[in-house]
Amino acid sequence: MANVDLPRMSDVCELSQHLAEGNSSSGDLVADCLARIARIDPVLNAFVAMNSGAQAEAVASDARRAAGKPLSPIDGIPVAIKDNLVVKGKPCTWGSRMFADFTPEHDELPIERLRALGAVILGKTNVPEFTLEGYCGNALHGVTRNPWDTQLTPGGSSGGSAAAVAAGLVPFALGTDGGGSIRRPAAYTGLVGLKPSIGRIPRQGGLPQLLLDFEVVGPLTRSARDARMIFDLLSGPHARDHRSSQFTDTPTKRVRPLNILYVEQFGDAPLDKGIAQSVGEAVDQLADLGHKVTRGALPFDLDAVTAFWPRIGQIGLAELLSAQPEMEHSAAGKYVEMARAGQSVSATEMHRGLEAVWTLRNAVGMAFETLDLIVTPSCAAMPWSAAEVYPDRIDGHPVGPRGHAVYTGWVNACGHPAISLPSAASADGLPIGFQMVAGFGREDLLLDVADQFEATQTWAHRLPQLTREHA
C-alpha cells in the first residue's frame, strides 16, 4: 500500500486522511485487507462470507475521489459486518443452520447508511448462534479465535468483528450489543467498543429482535477518534425508526471536572485480580486527568432485572420457534430448549419483568442527575478457551453462564450509552478493558473522556504477534 506503514496499522481517521491527500487509494486498501485475510483468517475464522464485489466498489470509490466527489470521510474504506446484520445479496446466517440459505434482498438501515457513505463492505463476520452468548462459535461456521492468543475466545457475540479488527484484517467493523456483545469482545482484543443509546443509530429491516429493544448497533475500532467518526456518521434521526427521533437537541455541556463513580465489583460477584488491578490503574489515570472519582456501589438495584434476564432470550426464541417451526430441527438443541422454556412464561411474569426494566431505567436516569460517568471493568474474567461457551470459575470461584458478563447487561436494559476502552494489558500480554457509562444520549461525553484518556495511553497501533508474523 503506497506510503502507508501497514505493519503499524493505521486507524480509520489516518486512512481517511491518506485517501483525501491522494497518498493511497481504496483499491490499495481493499487489496491489502484481502491479502491479509487470506494469510491470517484461516487461523482466526473471523469471516464467514466475503463480498466478491469489494474490489469493484473500491474502483468506484477511487473514481469519485478523482472527480472530487467523495461521499464521506470513509468513502472507500473497508468494513466488516457482523453476521446478524442484514446486507443485501450477502448471506445472513445468524450463526445457525436454520438460516444457512438466507440471502436477503435489502440492506438493514445501518448498512444502507454505510453504503450511502461509500464504505466498502468486505464481508460478514462470525457469531454464536442467534447471538445470545458471550463467545464466538457455532455448528455452521465453527469457532472464531482471539488473535492475541488463538487458543482463547475473542468473546461474543461480536467476536468475529472484534477478531477481524484486532488482527488488522479490516480497519473497523460493525457489531451489535444486546448485553455486552460489543464491549466485552473489544476488551478481550484491545479495541474500542461503543454501545450507543437505544435509538441513536436507527435500525429497521433486520432479523427478529430477540432481546427486546436492548440490542443496538455500534462500531468496533482501533481508536476512540474512529469510534467518534463512525458514530457521528451512522447516528441521526430516521423516519423508519421512531426511537431515533428523540435525539434532536444539543446536549448540555457539563462543568469539568466530571463526577465519576467507580464500581469495582457488583456485590459478591467474583472479579479476576489482574482485571481489578488494570482497571484500577485506569481509574487512577482518570483522577490524574482532573476528574473527581468516588469508589462505591451502584446507586440502584439490579436484582429484579438480573432475575428477568434469562427469560428475555427464551421469550425471543419462543416467538422465533412459533414463527418458524423448522427451528426445532435446524437449530442447536439448547436453543430449542430455551424456546420451549420461553413458551411457559406467563403474561404476568412478562409484565413483571418489563416493569423491572422500566423501574431500572428511571432509577439509572435519576443517578445520572448527579453523576457524569459510571466506570466498571468491562469483563469479570479474562478470555477463556475458544472451545468453551463460558468460564466456569473466576478468581477461584464457581460461576454460571453470565458470571463473566455481570458488568454489561444492565446498561442494555436501561438503554444508556457505554464504551469499552483498553487499559493496561495482563502480565502475559493479553488485552484488558474498562467500561464507562454515561447519561442517556450522552455519547459526546463518553467520547470526550475516551479521547482524553487515549491521549495518555495510545493503543491504536498495537498488534498481536500473529499479525506481525504475517504482515
pLDDT in tens, 116-153: 999 999 999 999 999 999 999 999 999 999 999 999 99
pLDDT for the residue 471: 73
In a domain? residue 317: no
In a domain? residue 456: yes
- Other Cβ atoms closer than 10 A to 20: 13
- Take residue 105 and report the three cell numbers written for it: 434482498
Q: What is the CATH number of the domain that holds 225?
A: 3.90.1300.10
pLDDT in tens, 214-265: 999 999 999 999 999 999 999 999 999 999 988 866 666 665 899 999 999 9
Phi, psi for residue 212 in degrees, rounded to 5: 55, -135
- Take residue 110 and report the three cell numbers written for it: 445501518
Rounded to an integer, what is the distance from CA 174 to the centroid of its chain?
A: 7
Asked if residue 76 lies in contact with residue 58, where contact means CB atoms within 8 angstroms, the answer is yes
CA distances from 308 to 149, 215, 313 (A): 35, 16, 10
In a domain? residue 318: no
Q: What is the mean pLDDT of residues 37-56?
A: 98
In a domain? residue 341: no
Q: What is the β-pairing status of strands 216-221 and 192-195?
A: antiparallel
pLDDT for the residue 5: 41
Does the pLDDT at position 33 exceed 50?
A: yes
In a domain? residue 313: no
Domain with 387 in it? 6-299+371-469
Q: Name the domain count of the chain.
A: 1
Residues tagged active-site: 82, 157, 181
In a domain? residue 332: no
